[in-house]
Structure 1
Amino acid sequence: MQTTKYFIGFDISADDFSASCITSPDNPVFSTQKFLNNFDGFNEFISLVSKHSIKQSEVIICMEATGVYSENLSYFLASKGFTLCIEAPHKIKNKTKDSPRKNDFIDALSIAEYTYRYTDKLTFWKPKDEIIEQIQVLLSTREHLTSQMTANQNALKTLKYKYYQTPLANQIYEKTINKFKEHIKQIDQEISNLIDKDDSFKNKISLAKSVPGVGLLLAANLLVLTKGFTEHLNYKHTAAYTGICPYEQTSGTSLHKPPRSKKCGPAKLRKLLYLAALSVRTHNQNFKKYFLRKVAEGKNKRLILNNIENKLLKIIFAVINSGVAYIENYKSINPALLKTA
């Protein structure tokens, strides 16, 4: 494996991107240059790299996470064999020195210096599977349509309470709501079809759905989050990322707050876990007994539901990692007890 010699920082906007290349903070290879954010600009950047005899295996390219603005460029460079790193903007900002001036050229150079200084801390980016990418888009579209449908349902409910009724307005809202329901149903079917195209995804989604309270939406969101259940399969890490992990808040003798979850991370996934917890609390005997027992102990009901969310997440990842579907009333045996038996 060749040693990294070059560090390139990108500052990306909707129309263009700036690139700066260094071998160390005091040794620039080429000064910051600007390129169009399209395939002509991408090829122009490749020509500049070739002009300086920079090999793909000798360079790390770093950019801020800018959503769709950097997507085409990322996939293009990955197809050319470059090593990429896409970092959260706040991480770069917190690690780089403040400057009284700010422009695209200064930002690109700062990102290049950040790449040089924190090479050992970087997480390298890999292109997503096409099916995973399509499912993610469909889930986002579904969430957007659902929120719009809810808004229309609330508006229609308000109109029906009015003294003077306006039939045309009611009909428009009713037709719009029915159209939203039709589109959401189509999205659910397409998500199922995409999952069925990949045997591995199909099997793992089936395992996840064997857990009480887990449906297609929750399983599909976890599939996207874990990139096909291949990464981040530690349930504690996922719970922390989702915002349902309680954190201790104590300091000395003055601060003794009860542990609380941060409620950060993806709200959509957190909502689905909450709904799953509500479902098993009502319909699953084991979770229902657990909930009632904790209520009898004086525990807060929302705290108990949060515990159930964590338990569900733990069970989902357990069945995925083991490859065995959920077994009702299963009891694990401590391996140490088997040795002494």
Structure 2
Amino acid sequence: MNQVPVAGIDVGKRFSEMAILSPSNQVYARIRINHDAYSNFDRAFELLRKAEKEFAAKPVVVMESTGHYHKILFQALNKNGYEVCVINPIQSDSIKNIRVRKVKNDKVDARKIALLYRFEQLKTTNIPHEDVDCLRSLCRHYYKLSDQLTAYKNRLLGIVDQLFLSFTDVFKDISSCTALAILEKYPTPEDILKADRQELISLIQKTARKNIKWATRKYESLCSKASNFNPLSINSIANVAMLKANIAMIKTLMQSLDEAVEAIHELLDKDASKDMPVLSLTIELLCSIPGIGLLTAATIVAEIGDFSAFPKPDKLVAYFGIDPSVTQSGQFEGTENKMSKRGPRLLRRVVFTTALANVRKKRNGQEHNPILYEFYRKKCLSKPKKVALGAVMHKLVTIIFAVLRDRKPFVLRKPEEHAKMLVAKNSAA
């Protein structure tokens, strides 16, 4: 058993409860830390120093990862020289029934979090580099905005289906500049039919940046569809109002996405101008892998953080959450095991889209990644497509590991070439 005092902290928004356990697991002290003034933190540090003097060992602090609420406390403790273990809520939830009596409050939770350090070998959490933390925040912000944009596009499509179902026959992308401009000014088929011909053609031409002939064809097709659907249109005040509100939200979110991407570029440009650039060079290396663009590479680097924490490819695969879960009890051993899906979900999201890109062909019929395409095709002969795609994701993570480990760009090689290189390496050693 680790014979050091442990401080467990149950983190809240405005305040946190801290319980310090002695080496014999007795509650040595409790304190509520209000987050609105540094003087409250001073009292907590005084208790920690008192425990250190009492038990001749510096206390280890354990807290739960709770969104952004734990960050202020984490930084303050690190600056004062304390080791902090930030644990996953799944871990703290595992000991909620350590007592039979059903009691749940902040004081009890703080003690349970401290006890978890006794039961499990918890690793100290390192302070992420300022630029990495900033990049992580920007990437997560981008994907949140992207998800919101998708939701509003779907809502807009639902309203357009009621107002003018055949509109998407003319403009397939409901969120294109041309489609949004027309819907904003002429929300119903009746409005389109009453619109000035030259004015509407000019609007189509200007927003689509096409010639007058193309714009005229679109106008005629739009009027034809509007004339046929007009008697069926549900052009209520509510639908028109919701249409305009959704269009406004879509425009705002698209602008916010552009600003998020611009901020990511600004951060990477700032890093590239340093004497020892880290982020920009790492992202450049990852971009050498087929299917990985700048935003995907930035997300991978930001979410992985300290790469030295992953000594083996399997560790990184597990962190991505694409390792198989294990179900075994007595003589029973599960065979239909799914992905564990533990770890940052953004990593699974980006590696999934990268895997899709690697098993597709270009417009000219050429594969993006011939090696992974062939690997996927062979897997599909004996496995369902989703299982085969999971195997491709696993391969991609091992490639990402190799690129980050060797600090060299990706080179497309056949498995036979890799085997020959490995034999030559072993014989030379």
Settle same-fold status: TM greater than 0.5: yes
Q: Which amino acid aligns with 1:279?
A: A
Shift of 1:114: 3.9
Distance 2:241 2:266 in 1: 38
For 2:404, the equivalent position in structure 1 comes to 320
**Larger CA deviation: 282-291 vs 96-105:** 96-105
Q: Is 1:41 matched up with 2:40?
A: yes
Counterpart of 1:218 in structure 2 is 296
TM-score, normalised via structure 1 length: 0.84
Partner AA of 1:10 in structure 2: I
Shift of 1:240: 2.4
Matched positions, count: 335
CA distance in 2, matches of 1:255, 1:10: 38
Structure 1 counterpart of 2:359, from 266, 281, 286: 281
> Is contact 1:57–1:83 with CA below 8 Å preserved after alignment?
no
d(CA) in 1 for partners of 2:121, 2:154: 48
The answer to whether residue 363 in structure 2 is matched with residue 290 in structure 1 is no
Distance change (3 Å), C-alpha of 1:89 and 1:99: farther
Q: 1:105 to 1:216 in 2, by over 3 A?
A: same
1:68 match: secondary structure: coil
- Structure 2 stretches lacking a partner, 5+ long: 163-232, 272-276, 362-367
Q: Deviations over 1:44-66 (max 9, x none)?
A: 22234456674997221222222
Contact 2:6 2:20 in 1 (8 A): yes
Aligned partner of 2:22 in structure 1 is 23
CA distance in 2, matches of 1:291, 1:145: 32
Residue by residue over 1:37-87, the C-alpha shift from the partner in whole angstroms, topping out at 9 and shown as x without a partner, is 232311222234456674997221222222322211110111111111222
Of residues 217, 228, 234 in structure 2, which corresponds to 1:164? Answer: 234
- The Cα of 1:233 is off from its aligned counterpart by 5.7
Unmatched 5+ stretches in structure 1: none
Which moves more between the two structures, 62-71 or 310-319? 62-71
Aligned residue in 2 for 1:261: 339
The corresponding residue for 2:147 is 147
TM-score by length of 2: 0.69
Q: Which protein, 1 or 2, shows the higher relative CO under an 8 Å CA cutoff with sep ≥ 6?
A: 1
Q: Does 1:107 align with 2:109?
A: yes
Residues 1:106 and 1:172: Cα distance change in structure 2 (over 3 Å): closer
CA-CA distance at 1:153 after TM superposition: 0.8
Tell whether the 8 Å contact from 1:4 to 1:60 is kept in structure 2 after alignment. Answer: no
What is the aligned partner in structure 1 of residue 7 from structure 2? 8
| 1:82-122 Cα distance to aligned partner (Å, 9 max, x none) | 1112223443454583162443333333434443x34x712
The amino acid across from 1:124 in the alignment is: T
C-alpha deviation, 1:269, in angstroms? 2.1
Once the two structures are superposed, residues 187-229 of structure 1 have per-residue CA deviations (whole angstroms, 9 ceiling, x without a partner) of 1221122233331111111111100011223222221222153
1:249-308 deviations in Å (ceiling 9; x for gaps): 67898766345323444333212212111111113233333333333x343221221111
Following TM superposition, by how much is the alpha carbon of 1:26 offset from its aligned partner in structure 2, in angstroms? Answer: 5.8
Q: After superposition, give the CA deviation of every residue in 1:226-255 in whole Å (9 maximum; x if it has no partner).
A: 215343363322322333223566789876
**How much has 1:4 moved relative to structure 2?**
6.9
- Aligned in 2, Cα 1:153/1:339: closer, same or farther, shift over 3 Å? closer
Identity among equivalent positions (%) equals 22
Q: Is the 8 A contact 1:10 1:19 kept in 2?
A: yes
Q: Does 1:98 align with 2:99?
A: yes
Match of 1:303 in 2: 387
- Structure 1 300/24 Cα, relative in aligned 2: closer, same or farther at 3 Å? same
Aligned to 1:243: 321
My pick for the range that moved more, 129-138 or 233-242, is 233-242
- Asked if 2 retains the 8 angstrom alpha-carbon contact of 1:204 and 1:229, the reply is no
Determine if contact 2:299/2:347 at 8 Å carries over to the other structure.
yes
Conservation of the 8 A alpha-carbon contact between 1:62 and 1:85 = yes
- Provide the rounded CA distance (Å) in 2 between the counterparts of 1:26 and 1:253: 37
Which secondary structure does the structure 1 equivalent of 2:147 belong to?
A: helix
Q: Quick check: which has more Rg, 1 or 2?
A: 2
Q: Which amino acid aligns with 2:21?
A: I
Greater percentage in strand:
1
Alpha-carbon distance change, 175 to 22 in structure 1, aligned in 2, over 3 angstroms: closer
Residues 150-174 of structure 1: CA deviation (Å, up to 9, x unaligned): 1111121122222134555434323
Q: What SS does the aligned partner of 1:67 have? A: coil
